[in-house]
Amino acid sequence: MPLVTIDVIKDAFTPEQKQQMIEKVTAVMVEVEGENLRPVTSVRIAEIEGGDWAIGGQRLGGADVRAMATGTDG
């Protein structure tokens, strides 16, 4: 019974994007483990508060992630 946890910065992704993550990660897990385990394959998204996540010593928030995704300055 696999459990996949995806850590993201809060407000970085829309509900629709999070749903896509859940569906696609589930599909990959089922491809590896077999269709019979689909009913017990869990995917959860854990949202980390903006500013509680840093890369290279720089704190990030949801707007920063969205800016990276779109190639803008945020």
Which tens digits make up the pLDDT trace of 9-45? 999 999 999 999 999 999 999 999 999 999 999 999 9
Distance CA 49, CA 7 (A): 11
List 2, 8, 22, 63, catalytic entry = 2
Q: For the beta carbon of residue 12, count every other beta carbon within 10 angstroms.
A: 22
Residue-level pLDDT at 3: 96
Q: Is 2 a known active-site residue?
A: yes
pLDDT value at position 46? Answer: 98
Residues 18-40: b if buried by 16+ CB within 10 A, e if exposed: beebbeebbeebbeeeeeeeeee
Lowest mean per-residue pLDDT among 9-13, 32-36, 65-69, 70-74: 70-74
**Reported pTM:** 0.84
